[in-house]
Amino acid sequence: MRKPIIVANWKMYKTRVEAEQFCEEIRPLLAGQDKVDAAICAPALQLDILKAKLQNTGIGVGAQNMYPAAEGAFTGEISPRMLQDMGIDYVIIGHSERREIFKEDNELIKAKVKSAYEYGLCPILCVGERLEQREAGETVEVCAGQLLSALEDLTAEEVEQMIVAYEPIWAIGTGKVATAQDAEDTIKALRQAIADKYGAATAEKVRIQYGGSVKPENVKELMAQPNIDGALVGGASLKPESFAKLVRYQEA
């Protein structure tokens, strides 16, 4: 059985004081909750606060990006070694905002995924299609292409442990959520693509999230789909009450 995992992606939101306040408020709201894995991917400057304030809560802490080298002349970048040194659990890789705005390509994303494993970080690999690709019927081809390219240098054991997030670009921050059935169909196809390459047993273990305008009001229906194992949540993860509702979706 795959344990559900709900992850907050704070993107470029929250000062240190705001991050601290969120942690104070989320602690009691998620106390005792262990049916679902929860994690928060914060801006790098807030990670130390989350590590300190979320100690012993079971809530994981993640970064939103990294550069695939231990150290070096890469001005402005953060390395997996630095994240490991801070005790970070997860790192989002290949988010569509990185692919689209910062022009990250599949080669760089593949190197990032490999490098995350070298430093004991669990990658949350994002894949997703643009609206015109969906309209042209290319969704599965585009997303499976991004996925298989990113997995190329991994062992089957590494593939098993990773988290994949299917995030249709047209659904991110737009309020347009894919229907639960559409999300399920694509995620099922992605699991099949993993099975074809690494075997069914490996594919059955990979946790695949949906992301794109997930809210407390629609999370339950999405999570009811057999292949959807979690959610990667932007906007609705910024308020403690809302994030707690998302994590506690089974109780609603």
Q: Which of residues 173-192 bind ligand PGA (CB under 6 A)?
A: 173
Separation of CA 184 from chain center: 17
Q: What are the CA-CA distances from residue 134 to residues 34, 102, 104, 131, 171 (Å)?
A: 36, 22, 21, 5, 11
Among 37, 104, 158, 167, binds ligand PGA (CB under 6 A): 167
DSSP 115-127: HHHHTT-EEEEEE
Closest CB 18 distance from ligand PGA, rounded Å: 17
What do you get for the CA distance between the two ends of the chain, in Å?
Answer: 22
Q: Which sequence positions are flagged as catalytic? A: 95, 167
Q: Which of residues 1-30 bind ligand PGA (CB under 6 A)?
A: 9
Q: Which of residues 95-134 bind ligand PGA (CB under 6 A)?
A: none
Residue nearest to ligand PGA (CB): 234
Residue 234 binding ligand PGA, by CB under 6 A: yes
Burial class for 71, CB neighbours closer than 10 Å (0-12, 13-18, 19+): exposed
Residue 214 binding ligand PGA, by CB under 6 A: yes
Closest CA to 153 of 186, 116, 188: 116
Residue 213 binding ligand PGA, by CB under 6 A: yes
Residue 64 binding ligand PGA, by CB under 6 A: no
Among 39, 91, 228, 232, binds ligand PGA (CB under 6 A): 232
Tell me the number of residues near ligand PGA by CB under 6 A.
13
- Distance (Å, whole) CA 104 – CA 24: 35
Query: In this chain, which stretch among 28-36, 130-138, 207-215, 222-230 interacts with ligand PGA, using CB under 6 A?
Result: 207-215
DSSP E strand stretches across 94-152: 122-127
Give residues in contact with ligand PGA (CB under 6 A).
9, 167, 172-173, 211-214, 232-236
